[in-house]
């Protein structure tokens, strides 16, 4: 992938101003120092910034943005750089604005059950801090050990427990954010009910660093569930596994997590872990987790879910309620994200469809991939109809890349034709921006552009992301 505009370098005088704001040690320019800020987890893309600034305060962020806005310097906000849609890549050079030094948990207010945090807090660090007080912050991207709250907010990240608790946005009560102009806005706070004007919190959540830089967040907490249990069920066919997902909900059960892993994904993860699972021939496996206020309630739910799975053709049902065994059952699912790296060059997609269309989606993906001479693995959040797909196989050089692109396009089109979307939780970024029109009509894309133009008229914030490139006639392609 090549950027559509030239790389924007920074002059010595521009660097001097940035050093004066963020401090000498917190502006990086040496090529070796820039390397980690040149990539995230998206395929093998590398886009070095001209410089990196690592501010410590909202005032520094504000002054940096005001200066970059005046000079039209592109600014790419960065958190943990674990993104899978290329959101943190400095596509046009310019400045990478890394929020990793703004990493304080400012307050955990137990009375109001609200955490106030800076954007650079690693998600797992917040989980551990609130759990120590008997509280829970449910959003849990599988990357939680290295992703940050800022990145989660910008991508409206999900994760396995979104099945019951929803995505990041559901837990945000207010944000402090800096606009491209340098102006600081506050969109809410600790008050639970607040409908004063446009819901700017929701507008900024999921805006992928294109509208503002988040510098503080007020996040809702709940009591930590007292009991948990996990169930794993293999199925001979994809259709049976998906029927079981629908049936679990039809019986009034609400799993905390409801994960799907297809046979190729199981193979790649179990190979990496060096384990052989029972029923290796199973085309699909489901992992369901239940939580609640007590053992009895959770045991009842997990038993009823097991019955539903068996009624839909599960080959077996394995249940665990102790921590060690639950961890073991989660291991294959959790290991896939890393294991797919062993597949070599692959293209990753994050599509979502109504839950009832999942089997048709996975079947269709396999057909599309195999027609192009590729293989695919599919896994993800079945309850949300959200599947991660890796398409891999021979395909080097420009022709190979083009074949990957065409295949991805067909898969995005398939998801949209099933009533779904081109991204369920990873964001549009650069990976699906050309296909945004598959799930948003021209008027909706124009409305998004109008918001972008209003908040960032010079287009300095994360340029090249989210929107399809404009054609020479100024129309979305």
Ligand X SMILES: Cc1cc2nc3c(=O)[nH]c(=O)nc-3n(C[C@H](O)[C@H](O)[C@H](O)COP(=O)(O)OP(=O)(O)OC[C@H]3O[C@@H](n4cnc5c(N)ncnc54)[C@H](O)[C@@H]3O)c2cc1C
- What residues line the site for ligand X (CB under 6 A)? 40-41, 76-84, 87-88, 99, 119, 141-143, 147-148, 150-152, 154-155, 157-159, 208-209, 213-214, 337, 425-426, 462
Q: Which is nearer to ligand X, 27 or 99 (CB)?
A: 99
Pairwise CA distance, residues 160 & 132, whole Å: 21
Minimal distance, residue 84 CB to ligand X, in Å: 5
Gap between the Cα atoms of 75 and 51, Å rounded:
10
Give the nearer residue to ligand X in terms of CB position, either 149 or 317: 149
Q: Report the nearest approach of ligand X to the CB of residue 212 (Å).
A: 7
Closest to ligand X by CB, 110 or 331: 331
Nearer to ligand X by C-beta: 145 or 457?
Answer: 145
Query: Residue 95 Cβ, how far from ligand X at the closest point, in Å?
Result: 12
Give me the residue whose beta carbon is nearest to ligand X. 151
Surface-to-core class of residue 255, CB atoms within 10 Å of its CB (0-12 exposed, 13-18 middle, 19+ buried)? buried
CB of 201 to ligand X, least distance (A): 13
Least distance (Å) from ligand X to the CB of residue 55? 10
Place of tokens 């050093």: 19
Helix, strand, coil percentages, rounded to 5, for the chain? 40, 20, 40
Nearer of residues 214 and 314 to ligand X, judged by Cβ: 214
Order of strands across the sheet that contains 318-320: 318-320, 227-235, 284-292, 257-262, 375-381, 386-392, 346-352
Nearest-approach distance from CB 367 to ligand X, in angstroms: 26
Q: Which helix (H) or strand (E) holds 412?
A: helix 397-417
| Contact between 298 and 321 (Cβ < 8 Å) | yes
CA–CA separation, 106 vs 115, rounded Å?
8
The two three-digit tokens of residue 222, written as one number: 């709940």
In terms of CB distance, is 39 or 263 closer to ligand X? 39
In DSSP notation, 360-408 reads HHHHHHHHHHHHTT-EEEEEEEGGGTEEEEEEESS--HHHHHHHHHHHH
CB of 18 to ligand X, least distance (A): 18
* Closer to ligand X by Cβ: residue 241 or 462: 462
Residue whose C-alpha is closest to residue 91's, from 207, 154, 7: 7
Tell me whether residue 175 or residue 416 sits nearer to ligand X (CB atom): 175
Using an 8 Å Cβ cutoff, are 23 and 70 in contact? no
SS3 of residue 238 by DSSP:
helix
Record the tokens describing residue 256, joined without a space.
């905390």
Least CB distance from residue 80 to ligand X, whole Å? 3
């Amino acid at each position: 992938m090549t950027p559509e505009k030239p790389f924007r370098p920074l002059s010595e005088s521009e660097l001097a101003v940035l050093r004066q704001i963020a401090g000498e040690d917190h502006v990086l320019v040496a090529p070796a120092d820039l390397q980690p800020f040149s990539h995230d987890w998206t395929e093998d893309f590398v886009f070095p910034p001209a410089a990196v600034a690592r501010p410590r305060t909202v005032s520094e962020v504000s002054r940096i943005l005001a200066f970059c806005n005046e000079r039209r310097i592109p600014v790419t906000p960065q958190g943990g750089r674990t993104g899978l849609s290329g959101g943190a890549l400095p596509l046009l050079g310019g400045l990478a604005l890394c929020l990793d030094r703004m990493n304080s948990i400012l307050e955990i207010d137990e009375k109001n059950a609200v955490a106030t945090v800076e954007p650079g807090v690693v998600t797992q660090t917040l989980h551990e801090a609130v759990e120590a007080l008997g509280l829970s912050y449910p959003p849990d991207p599988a990357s939680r050990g290295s992703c940050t709250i800022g990145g989660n907010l910008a991508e409206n990240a999900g994760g396995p427990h979104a099945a019951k608790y929803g995505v990041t946005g559901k837990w945000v009560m207010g944000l402090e954010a800096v606009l491209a102009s340098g102006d600081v806005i506050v969109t809410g706070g600790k008050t639970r009910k607040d409908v004063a004007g446009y819901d700017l919190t929701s507008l900024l959540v999921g805006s992928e660093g294109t509208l503002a830089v988040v510098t503080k967040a007020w996040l809702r907490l709940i009591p930590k569930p007292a009991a948990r249990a996990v169930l794993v069920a293999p199925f001979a066919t994809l259709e049976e596994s998906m029927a079981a997902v629908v049936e679990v909900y039809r019986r009034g059960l609400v799993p905390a997590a409801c994960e799907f892993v297809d046979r190729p994904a199981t193979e790649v993860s179990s190979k990496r872990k060096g384990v052989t699972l029972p029923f290796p021939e199973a085309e699909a496996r489901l992992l369901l987790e239940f939580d609640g206020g007590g053992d009895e309630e959770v045991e009842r739910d997990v038993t009823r879910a097991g019955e539903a799975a068996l009624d839909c053709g599960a080959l077996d049902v394995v249940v665990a309620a102790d921590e060690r065994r639950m961890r073991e059952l989660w291991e294959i699912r959790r290991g896939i994200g890393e294991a797919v790296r062993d597949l070599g060059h692959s293209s990753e997609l994050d599509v979502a469809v109504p839950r009832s269309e999942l089997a048709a989606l996975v079947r269709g993906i396999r057909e599309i991939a195999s027609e192009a001479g590729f293989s695919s693995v599919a896994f993800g959040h079945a309850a949300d109809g959200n599947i991660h797909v890796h398409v891999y196989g021979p395909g080097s050089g420009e022709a190979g890349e083009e074949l990957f692109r065409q295949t991805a396009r067909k898969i995005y089109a398939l998801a949209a034709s099933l009533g779904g979307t081109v991204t369920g939780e990873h964001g549009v970024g650069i990976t699906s921006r050309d296909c945004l029109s598959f799930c948003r009509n021209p008027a909706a894309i124009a409305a998004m552009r109008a918001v972008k133009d209003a908040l960032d008229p010079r287009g300095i914030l994360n340029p090249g992301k989210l929107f399809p490139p404009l054609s020479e006639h100024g129309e979305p392609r």
